Structure 1
Amino acid sequence: MTIRGLRWWIVVLVFLAAVLNYIDRQTLSALAPTIQADLGMDDRDYANIVNLFLVAYTVAYLISGKLVDRLGTRSGTAIFVVWWSLANIVTAWAQGLRSMGACRFLLGLGEAGVWPAASKAVSEWFPARERALAIGLYTMGATIGATVAPYLVIPLATYDYAGKLPFIEGLFGHGAGWRVAFVITGLAGILWLIPWFALYRRPRESKLISAGELALIEDGEAPTEAGEKGWTWRQVLTFRPVWLLLFGRLLTDPVWYFYQFWFAKYLNTGRGLDQGSLTITWVVYAAAGVGSLVGGWGSGVLVKNGCAPVQARLWIMLGCACLMPVSPFIAKAAGLSVTMTLTVCAVFAALAWLINISAIVVDVVPKHSIGTVFSVVAAGSTLGGIAMNMIVAAMVSGPSSKPAGFLDQGFKALFGPLIGAVEGKGYEPWFLAMAFLHPLALLLLWAGGIHRLRPAKI
């Protein structure tokens, strides 16, 4: 028996993994005001917990890509999903800053792995002209997960357990609502493993793929064999595009991280929205999902019309960079509706950019080393996210009366004058900075010759 369009069913599974990944990640963000109040954490504590997640994420990126290349997409992905699901469940028993930070660190170790695994799945199952769209589809899963998260976890957190389900209140104690949210969202990942193991194989190893679809996937490329030797670390680190793409993501991914981790808090403190009203953030994530699809579709159309893959991605990225200067007006808008409209434009552009810079990796790296190279490039993303967290925390909190942690000390040693200049200034300087990050990254990529790259020889 064969399944028609099996590659699209594969990307649907990756899409669902991304949905679960972001629901688990955004549970803390969506419930931040409630959790901070219950556990006695201020905004700097919140930033430090997010940074612990991102530190683990960075470390895991560097390891997970190589692990996926060695174990294969099927086994590697399953390991990461199980890890982060269990870490999310354990978070339900966090009692303070340290235990919450430890749980988020464990979550970060698991969650990073799905992205190099997803890029490897796309390289195995899709021809060049469909790759950006496939990446857009599974990335849209992340945005849908972030969209769904508030609607799922806020009702769970605010439910009257003491009155209607007292045994739950007795099991979890104080803060039973948000603790239940972590358990339920974590269990969903375990269930996802069932269809994954049933469907996923490499195309030539699958009994469910038709001969016509296999020919379409390979589309003139020499198929790689399981166990084929990948690049060494020296080969990876001396491949110039790795560094160009790493710095490109370091500069631009902090924009998306800001909307994931801080925008709900901005609406809460800067615009006066209460916990229940923060469900309005679904608009942001819907825009991100549309940006993911349109960005992938747009470059795919250019490739079908004869444009070289890398050049096609760069044309879309240029359009995105031209949209980002709307960012400073988000904080200055008088009404919430104008703020959200401008935010939609900025997030749409940021995600369309992200899809295409990710697709460049798949375009120019041999399939046997996709996971490793993607993970190194993506490490730049999390480093940028950590820097953003430190800067934004200083902006919104002002000077801290608490002893500085190791991340604060290290960051101040490198960027002390910058922190001093923005400390206590609120969110507006960050919205201004976001106007320039994508244009600057595009100039860097162009100056580095990224536009002259050609598809990798398999």
Structure 2
Amino acid sequence: MRKVRGMRWYMIGLVTLGTILCYLTRNTIAAAAPTLETELHISTQQYSYIIAAFSACYTVAQPITGFIVDTLGTKIGYGIFAALWGIFAICASFTGGWGGLAVARGLGGFCESAMIPSGLKASTEWFPAKERSIAVGYFNVGSSIGAVFAPPIVVWAIMYKSWRLAFVIVGLLSVAWVILWIFAYFHPTKQKHLSDEEKEYIFSGQPKSVKHEKVHILELISQKKFWGIALPRFLAEPAWGTFNAWIPLFMSITYGFNLKQIAIFAWMPMVFADFGCILGGYMPVFFQKVFKVNLIVSRKMVVGLGALLMIGPGLIGVFGNPYVAIALLCIGGFAHQSLSGALITLSSDVFDPSEVATANGFTGMAAWTASTLFALVVGALCEVIGFSPLFALLSIFDIIGAIILFSLLKSSDAVTENTENNVVTAKLATENQ
């Protein structure tokens, strides 16, 4: 059997493709929002109900889907939920009003909630702890890439036929990916093309699982380290929910952008979010090397830096120029995805491998609870007070979240036995690829 060098990077590439398609499905509704308001006579507040339905189902489902993925395994669990979110995206194309869209997107949100826990679990399976933030950064970049492609695809579908075609396209793409996933993804212990050298490199850098019994949920969520991640994610996620669901309408309502202008500019913050995902994955390596800090502290430093940069979009109200606003949103996209990747990766650093998807599901539940509530706030207030005060609130939330993280999460919470082994350089990571 031929061995493939760097097999772990092919596996994370497959996960990244799934993330791209998940977020392509998720952002189709946002890109189509101005057209939906016109053709289906949906008000801005009713649109917020559609977003809140998605977020609420996503919120409730995260611990459920995380537990199912831990139980069934990454391959089967993720495959099932990805197939279902593709089917529900297609179902959205048959709806005739905001209520039908809310139901279809709500069901899609339930299934899409498996994406982050599954991606994190795959990263935990395929990467040593010292490379995990890089792996998470690469698969998380798919969230922004999907958001980048959504506006052009939706605009093309509308001009070619209708907004309904866009939902059919993204749904079919997700179903096609599931077929590839089932045939291509395997745990490292079952991957026949994985070389012995790479397998040793992967497993020698992973903490040994010390738990073999079922995950005890009450014990899990009662730990201080859980809340040290859950509360910052609760405060950070409204920013990403706003960026994904409201930027097209923000441009339309605030600056009078038409459909073509939205297609030209709405993807730009997501490109910078891509940079945040990738560079955010390498930042812990850089901070460990330069400042001689351990793994947990390096992740916390990334969150702190991201929170400071999130002040950028908070200043949108100071400027009246739409292009300055877009530039500040680009800074916000970079900031959020860099800190978000660090927060997500921390779950794999401080929880046992056997419970990491469940832990991430519950911290994700906290995050999306806030995102759901904030979507309703935006829908109720954006036409009353404007978007600027709401962006300012997002900046404040992230700063408070960083303070909580530094206060509650300690270096001793890491499950990795020898933190000195986690001080890596880019050279070492490259040599072992």
Settle same-fold status: TM greater than 0.5.
yes
Structure 2 counterpart of 1:138: 139
Identical pairs, percent: 26
> Residues 300 and 405 of structure 2 are in contact (CA less than 8 Å); yes or no, is this contact kept in structure 1?
no
Q: Aligned pair 1:428/2:412, yes or no?
A: no
Structure 1 position 304, deviation (Å): 5.8
> Residues 128 and 205 of structure 2 are in contact (CA less than 8 Å); yes or no, is this contact kept in structure 1?
no
Structure 1 counterpart of 2:234: 250
> Residues 366 and 457 of structure 1 are in contact (CA less than 8 Å); yes or no, is this contact kept in structure 2?
no
Distance 2:331 2:68 in 1: 37
Of 284, 298, 304 in structure 2, the residue corresponding to residue 312 of structure 1 is 298
Of 407, 418, 422 in structure 2, the residue corresponding to residue 447 of structure 1 is 407
Structure 2 counterpart of 1:157: 158
Of 309, 312, 316 in structure 2, the residue corresponding to residue 326 of structure 1 is 312
Unaligned runs of 5+ in 2: 419-433
**What TM-score do the two structures reach when normalised by structure 1?**
0.87
Written as runs of structure 1 = structure 2, the 5 A alignment for 1:254-333 is 254-279=238-263, 280-303=265-288, 307-333=293-319
Distance 2:209 2:9 in 1: 20
> Per the alignment, do residues 18 and 427 of structure 1 end up closer, same or farther by CA in structure 2, a change over 3 Å counting?
same
- 3-state SS of 2:315 partner: helix
- The CA RMSD measured in Å over matched residues stands at 1.8
After alignment, is 100-109 or 331-340 more displaced? 331-340
> Residues 366 and 456 of structure 1 are in contact (CA less than 8 Å); yes or no, is this contact kept in structure 2?
no
Q: What per-residue deviation string (whole Å, max 9, x for no partner) do you get for residues 311-347 of structure 1?
A: 1101112212222222232233232222222221122
Structure 2 counterpart of 1:167: none
> Residues 207 and 416 of structure 2 are in contact (CA less than 8 Å); yes or no, is this contact kept in structure 1?
no
Q: Aligned pair 1:382/2:365, yes or no?
A: no
Distance 1:328 1:207 in 2: 50
> Residues 148 and 271 of structure 2 are in contact (CA less than 8 Å); yes or no, is this contact kept in structure 1?
yes
Q: Aligned pair 1:340/2:341, yes or no?
A: no
Distance 1:61 1:444 in 2: 22
After alignment, is 331-340 or 258-267 more displaced? 331-340
Q: What per-residue deviation string (whole Å, max 9, x for no partner) do you get for residues 14-38 of structure 1?
A: 1000100011011110010111222
Distance 1:396 1:221 in 2: 47
Structure 2 counterpart of 1:356: 342
Structure 2 counterpart of 1:58: 59
Distance 1:449 1:70 in 2: 27
After alignment, is 297-306 or 47-56 more displaced? 297-306
> Residues 128 and 204 of structure 2 are in contact (CA less than 8 Å); yes or no, is this contact kept in structure 1?
yes
Distance 2:132 2:87 in 1: 31
Structure 1 position 300, deviation (Å): 2.6
After alignment, is 236-245 or 55-64 more displaced? 236-245
Distance 1:197 1:94 in 2: 30
Distance 1:108 1:328 in 2: 28
After alignment, is 387-396 or 250-259 more displaced? 387-396
Of 335, 339, 351 in structure 2, the residue corresponding to residue 365 of structure 1 is 351
Written as runs of structure 1 = structure 2, the 5 A alignment for 1:115-126 is 115-126=116-127
Q: Aligned pair 1:204/2:189, yes or no?
A: yes
Letter in 1 for 2:312: V
Q: What per-residue deviation string (whole Å, max 9, x for no partner) do you get for residues 337-384 of structure 1?
A: 222222211221111100101111111111111110000000111111
Unaligned runs of 5+ in 1: 162-176, 398-423
Distance 1:205 1:442 in 2: 39
**What TM-score do the two structures reach when normalised by structure 2?**
0.92
Alignment length, in residue pairs? Answer: 415
> Per the alignment, do residues 221 and 339 of structure 1 end up closer, same or farther by CA in structure 2, a change over 3 Å counting?
closer
Distance 1:383 1:224 in 2: 30
Distance 2:306 2:101 in 1: 36
